[in-house]
Structure 1
């Protein structure tokens, strides 16, 4: 039987692994900027593992953006893909494309002890939806549903592009400052790697500070070192994330819990755990009591999207 390959392709990184016997192995990460197409990156992966074209029976790629039809254009990088051309070029029998946060949601079903931390205590209701949300290159939002008997459904969506919610005059001023610069302010405009820098710059303009930090990494490093302005930016970032996550819980009735994923939050995990996230998460006026007992976890597992792609492929072939 031919091997299967799973991939998790974001704006910056493309992660690939082999999937055999319900297990993932041989993970390798490539920079999307180094390749002109997913086919070229997968060719590099095959070469690195002494595999030839035609060695793969099935491929499942988790991709950022809505999936429909033969052609797909990646949201946060320069790649494009045609399903038919992909299968012909790599001599693949089957290509399954799924939304990256559908894969991330399915990956939550394979979490192991030590791969998540409690943010808000509670008890997940197994028959209710769970929210999976994560700032990275963009802001991904997915929904996980249990179908019973060990099967799962992940609902795709573009929840990162909802309007950025505000809960007080300060947040309204921040949003207005950003709107003056770029127009429409989505949640992803702030809640992403680039959004962290945009938030810093907006706060500097509002408060009369000189914006000396030039990258999200520099802001994070300064905050971890205790620099007050950078700390206030990280705090506001976490509070906005709490509001967006809480909105999703109300919309979906997501008493199955909330998983915080992505590459941004784990970089300042302790600041996040001690931030106003939980306060803003449940700051919903007359509906604030709804959040009692809804658990929230910070996921630290490295390759949940890849695992979720494997789960999707396995469920399709079952």
Structure 2
């Protein structure tokens, strides 16, 4: 009897967020029916968590050990099992630190996280290891309106870049730009080390702080030395030396001996003058850096403030008169341009895990050819081109974004349940056989082409 090689309609994917202290894993299944697959890399694919659990890194000498225990726990405590009905397909792990060719080294723990090793150990077809803040960038795409606080409405553009910065343990930054696939347009995230640019003081007190920190770190001072959980402690130590008359030994003891000194500093804001000065100082510099990021990327798709520091101190960011917003917009003669950029604070702190799950889904899709229905409706399946600048190049379809590109537009219109847009802009590479055929037509004068009927069933 021949073995049934038909791919299961439900597959198991894995996401993980590996921080300095904890490792978080989740197994989830995704419907891969033809209707779902035809929609391509959705930002909100139909996930269903099968099993999820967090682990303390200090309990394991090797990364392989913690993943092995996770799978053992999953099989013992949930309905997950490796049966013919389920298939471990793709895995994406977001790790705190630099990633080089799918490999990350946790030097403080002696761990090595390597995508090839994980494939061999656990039988995944596809594994990707990415920086945790790049994963957070993809996590931005999954946000709902109720999960953000709007600081500035701006003038939103669905085809523009998106920028993300977030202060937590450190200061992470990344950006997202529209990309193209046979399914349509979607965003990809790209890494940045922008948090490590030099701190550029603007006021007398900021110059004094720079001098203090330059002596402490024996030279260069980055923005992250100020805008981060550790940065709060650095700035507190500066104010302690600058204003010794305000020193409180009891409060200082709590701060110095805390595991998370930054959290204690924030909690003492209304009881201890030096903490109040520290918080005001840090959020002003935070706003300045947010404005600098906005200038570099012009993210009319949105500037998102992520990380733990912002949502836990949201009152310091809201309102145009907050020190954060005034510093963000105060960019001299280019300030008017920044007033049109949407600025939002991310109120949830699980972007890394969300991004790893979304990437797992995309990794799976990359391994499959685009799903195109075999039969087309002759009444609606037409190829249309236009050079009309008023028609958006990427029409909203099955969750994809509009975008006012001023380019000739070519769209393959399918029945509603299989809708997909294909946008051809100069320099785009054709990625499927059906797109290649269209490209040949364009090469012989697409601008004069107005309509082509596609034969039903061709």
**Fold shared, TM-score > 0.5 on shorter chain:** yes
**What is the CA-CA distance between 1:278 and the residue it aligns to?**
0.5
Q: Does 1:43 align with 2:68?
A: yes
Cα distance in 2, alignment partners of residues 70 and 192 from structure 1: 27
**What is the CA-CA distance between 1:52 and the residue it aligns to?**
7.4
Instruction: Flag as ranges the 4+ runs of structure 1 deviating above 4 A.
Output: 51-55, 75-78
Q: Does 1:158 align with 2:203?
A: no
Q: Which has the higher helix share?
A: 1
Residues 242 and 15 of structure 1, relative CA distance in 2, 3 Å threshold: same
Cα distance in 1, alignment partners of residues 235 and 70 from structure 2: 37
Q: Does 1:279 align with 2:326?
A: yes
1:171 to 188, 193, 206: 206
Q: Which moved more, 1:137-146 or 1:207-216?
A: 207-216
Show the counterpart of 1:256: 301
Cα distance in 1, alignment partners of residues 132 and 94 from structure 2: 4
**What is the CA-CA distance between 1:317 and the residue it aligns to?**
2.6
2:21 to 12, 31, 38: 12
> Can you list the C-alpha shifts for 1:83-142, whole angstroms capped at 9, x where unaligned?
332322333332111221221111111111321111223232222211111111211101
Q: How many residues align?
A: 317
Residues 199 and 93 of structure 1, relative CA distance in 2, 3 Å threshold: same
Show the counterpart of 1:210: 247
Structure 2 counterparts to residues 59-208 of structure 1, below 5 A: 59-74=91-106, 78-147=110-179, 149=184, 151-183=186-218, 184-208=220-244
Q: TM-score, normalised by structure 2?
A: 0.64
Cα distance in 2, alignment partners of residues 227 and 192 from structure 1: 20
Say whether the 8 Å CA contact 2:17–2:94 is kept in structure 1. Answer: yes
Q: TM-score, normalised by structure 1?
A: 0.90
What secondary structure sits across from 1:6 in the alignment? strand
Q: Which ranges of structure 2 fall in alignment gaps of 5 or more residues?
A: 1-7, 31-44, 366-458
Structure 2 counterparts to residues 275-314 of structure 1, below 5 A: 275-314=322-361
Cα distance in 2, alignment partners of residues 121 and 36 from structure 1: 48
User: RMSD of aligned C-alpha atoms?
Assistant: 2.4
Cα distance in 2, alignment partners of residues 154 and 140 from structure 1: 13
Q: Which ranges of structure 1 fall in alignment gaps of 5 or more residues?
A: none
Cα distance in 1, alignment partners of residues 342 and 107 from structure 2: 31
Cα distance in 2, alignment partners of residues 243 and 140 from structure 1: 15
Q: Does 1:219 align with 2:265?
A: yes
